[in-house]
Structure 1
Amino acid sequence: MFSSPLQRSQTIIFLLGWLAYASTYLLRKPLGVVKTDLEESLSIPKTQLGWLDTALLLPYAVMQMLLGPLGDRFGPRRTFGTCLLLSAISMATFGSWSNFWMFFFLLFINGSAQAQCWPNCIKCLGSWYPDSVRNSMFGMFGTCAFAGGIMGTSLAVYLQTSYSWRSAFFLPSIIVAILGAVVLMFFTTPEEQNVEIPGKMQSSASSKSSGNTTWLQMWKIPMLPEVAVAVFCLKVVRYCMYMWLPMYLLNALKYTKAQAGMFSTTFEIGGVLGSAVIGIVIDRYFKGRSLAGTGYSITLSAVSLLAFYLTSSWGIVFNTVFMFLAGVFNCGPDSILGGSIPNELGEMDGRNAAAAAVGLVNGFGSVGTFLEGPIIGLISAHYGWSGMFYMMIGLSGVGALAVLRALSIYNSRQGKIPLEMEEVA
């Protein structure tokens, strides 16, 4: 089945990382599913339910940026596995409590623990694959986030309806804990197995650094701030579509509730395809120009959103096509800008800071996930649905400009920075 022991190890690490990171959504999604139960059975008001979202999302964003060096210092296997176990422990008893502040505390611990899962998963995976297929690998791997979200929601709904809302957390916690233990045992790096990866550019000192790069020093890495801004813009647009598209379809386009609910998944379906395909496209057609490929994709996402809004009255067929394309081009670059590129930037010039770089980029981007709600609410209240769409189009434009700025920095420093875009023979 496998042509070599190296290919077998790469496949095992990829599948284990995919399953382990997808499982984190089993402990993120239940909160949204059981909110109605918390309101009805425990009389928790909507305002406090909103604060529970913040308890999960705020530490998830901030701790990615602040605690990223942990993975570089202690290794991705230990950090990723420990964080999975901590996340599982924090949520295992969630259904046993009835106190808002205990819910808040447990969600805060969960968000803080999960903050280090993506950066360390990416750090380990990036070490196993040659630079020539890095984008393809990360693009395929990015599908785990979308698949995990679907699995997390489905399992939570099943447990809620079959038993009760209090049962929606324990089984997912057990699954995450088991995968955390497996990660601690088997999610090794090539260095831990004394394996050399053919076709992988070796930094002169990256593996010898202790991972002590500070948060302020990370912002001084060339191109990293621009990539972080681009990811921020993409995530604000994405979560706006997740949270507001059903309401727009219902109120503005007069869809039925069933139609609005079904159609709202079109963006996510496009996201799965985009994540799987864009890395392959970039590796094949944009060799040496990864940033250019992602820039084109973000620009096309803005064009797709504009086309969707301008043709919104033309019927469900046009709505489906343009919303699907918006999902493809918005979600596609996420694993490249949030995985492949910062991973490489963190390792260049003798740094051992891949986890810190990935954490900074995704943490900064995740700030948009909890700012999106009040921003969109304010804009839509004053400027209507058109204001919301033009803001999303404008943010996509800003993201594309940020990538263009990063590309210009790369071009000006070409020959000085061995970015992965220089394919290794």
Structure 2
Amino acid sequence: MSDNLQRVNESVLEIRPKKPTKARYGILMLLFIGTAINYMDRTNISVAAPEIQKYFHLNPTMLGLIFSAFAWSYAIGQIPGGWVLDRFGPKRTYGTALSLWSVFTFLQGVAHGFGFLFVMRLGMGLTESPAFPTNNKVVTSWFPQKERAFATGVYTAGEFVGLAFLTPFLFWLLSSFGWRSIFFVTGVIGLLYAFVWVKRYCDPKESKTINQAELEYIQEGGGLTENTRQGNKINWHQARELFKHRQFWGLYIGQFGVTSTLYFFLTWFPTYLITEKHMTILKAGFFASVPYIAAFIGVLCGGFWSDWMLKRGKKVGIARKTPIVLGLLFSCCIILANYTSSVGLIILIMSIAFFGQGMSGISWSLVSEIAPAKLVGLAGGVFNFAGNLSGIVTPLLIGFIVSATNSFSGALLVVGGFALMGALSYIFLLGKVKRIEIDS
């Protein structure tokens, strides 16, 4: 009797559907940590910049060239990086990229002049170029549509964790051990994490921690689990579609506006506090972390709000574009810092502006919604290329303005103007949000 009862119980357990596992959140944590390291390596130069400027006797224009060098090669590498990603998949692409950019980060610590430091920044930019297309492709593969803005918000928040919580640590390294120590420490951290990525990341259908219920949940929600590693040659006739549609141009111009505010904070912000507001190194490290924390909160709010609207029946265009546009409009208020000398008020204004930039950082979720399924990696590369052109323009333009005027007032006007341009592009040019289909 007991044996029969046991067999019945086992049969019931087999019939009862299993709950989906949560393996996708483990993958998201890998992206979060990788992005935090990515941005720590990008922004370390801004922390070291005041000392580097004195050490190598650089004027603001030369410092602007150093700041922009990363974005030159980073922007150029976006389209090839997207192609590499579509051909070899996230695991190999990101693992190799992380290892290489960490080496370039480390080598900046042995720089002996302007030229060497400039070349190392170029190398780091080129090797970081596949990172965000990889993030986007992983989210598109591992998450259903209704969770993508949240997932994009979480890994994007990694940018600001690296900035908010590690910037005081980097300033402490600077004051205690000199500017070279910043590059040595951050380079080693990246190399160690490359081993973690290669060991822990896998595609959905190769994962040992995902069950069939979660895989079906992802697939039924629009996750592109079949397209993580295609090994296909790019059909350039298809790739031209990425430049023929109004939706893509709306994304590209909008992302330029989103990224311009980010690059001000990644490059000139600590120098602005030290030279324009005459703060000490440690005081600047403390105050610089406040807007970064605001951006961290902003990106989480943007992702949560977007998915919340989508789950409650709002059209995908409204759900995705509203936080982005509102965030860009918040970023425009950076101009108000020109009209006050109060340090507290300036930090508040900068925090509101960077909070808005964080909200608009979920713009990557629109690439997941619009890009043709076979070109997600390449579309992400083109999108990031367009956005990071501002990484070339913004630091250089600020350097020229500061050299010419000995003031950051004009620079803040430029950053606010770019943010407004981005908002107008998302409002009027992007149009309806839907996936663009192309012929095979």
Instruction: With the length of structure 2 as denominator, give the TM-score of the two structures.
Output: 0.77
SS at match of 1:332: helix
Deviates more, 1:394-403 or 1:48-57: 48-57
- Kindly indicate whether the alpha-carbon contact (under 8 Å) linking 1:126 and 1:343 is maintained by their aligned counterparts in 2: yes
Aligned length: 404
Q: 1:54 offset after TM fit, Å? A: 3.1
1:167-197 deviation per Cα after TM superposition (whole angstroms, max 9, x unaligned): 3323322221121122122211213338624
The 5 Å alignment of 1:5-404 reads 7-41=21-55, 43=56, 45-46=58-59, 48-150=62-164, 153-193=167-207, 196-198=215-217, 199-201=220-222, 210=232, 212=234, 214=236, 216-220=240-244, 223-240=247-264, 257=279, 265-286=289-310, 287-291=314-318, 293-295=320-322, 297-299=324-326, 301-302=328-329, 305-306=332-333, 309=336, 312-313=339-340, 322-334=349-361, 336-337=362-363, 339-346=364-371, 348=372, 351-376=373-398, 391-404=414-427
**Cα gap change, 1:227 to 1:356, in 2 (>3 Å):** same
C-alpha offsets along residues 73-116 of structure 1, whole Å, 9 cap, x if unaligned? Answer: 10011100110111122333443452543333332221111111
- In structure 1, give the amino acid aligned to 2:156: G
| Structure 2: runs of 5 or more not aligned | 1-17
2-structure distance, mates of 1:11, 1:226: 31
Identity score, percent = 22
Please report how far the alpha carbon of residue 138 of structure 1 lies from its aligned counterpart in structure 2 after TM superposition. Answer: 1.2
**Helix, strand or coil: the match of 1:361?**
helix
Alignment partner, residue 3 of structure 2: none
1:322 deviates by: 4.9
Return closer, same or farther for 1:213/1:188 CA change in 2, 3 Å cut-off.
farther
The 3 A distance-change label for structure 1 pair 104 and 5 is farther
Q: Note if contact 1:44-1:100 (Cα within 8 Å) is conserved in structure 2.
A: no
C-alpha contact (below 8 Å) 1:291/1:403 kept by paired residues: no
- Return the offset for 1:164: 3.8
Where 2:142 maps in the other structure, the secondary structure is: coil
Q: Give the TM-score normalised by structure 1.
A: 0.79
Distance 1:368 1:402 in 2: 15
Structure 2 partner of 1:422: none
Deviations along 1:47-96, one digit per CA (max 9) or x if unpaired, are 55443333322111221134311101100111001101111223334434
Give the drift of 1:38.
4.0
Q: Distance in 2 between matches of 1:165 and 1:389?
A: 27
8 Å contact from structure 1 (residues 291, 406) kept in 2: no
Per the alignment, in what secondary structure is the counterpart of residue 298 of structure 2? helix
Distance 2:391 2:67 in 1: 10
What is the CA distance between 1:320 and its match in structure 2? 5.8
Question: Does the 8 Å contact 2:329/2:423 carry over to 1?
Answer: no
Whole-Å Cα distance in 2 between the matches of residues 389 and 39 of structure 1? 21
Residue type at the aligned position of 1:333: S
After superposition, the C-alpha distances for 1:101-150 in whole angstroms (9 at most, x for unaligned) are: 33333322211111111211221133111111111121122110011124
Contact 1:26 1:155 (8 Å CA) reproduced: no
Looking at structure 2, the residues matched to 39 and 385 of structure 1 have their Cα atoms a distance apart, in angstroms, of: 17
Mapped to 2, the partners of 1:316 and 1:33 lie a distance apart of 19
Correspondence 1:397-416 to 2 at 5 A? 397-410=420-433
The 1:303–1:362 alpha-carbon spacing in structure 2 relative to 1, beyond 3 Å, is: same
**Cα distance in 2 for residues equivalent to 1:104 and 1:275:** 31
Structure 1 letter corresponding to 2:321: T
Contact 1:298-1:330 at 8 Å conserved across structures: no
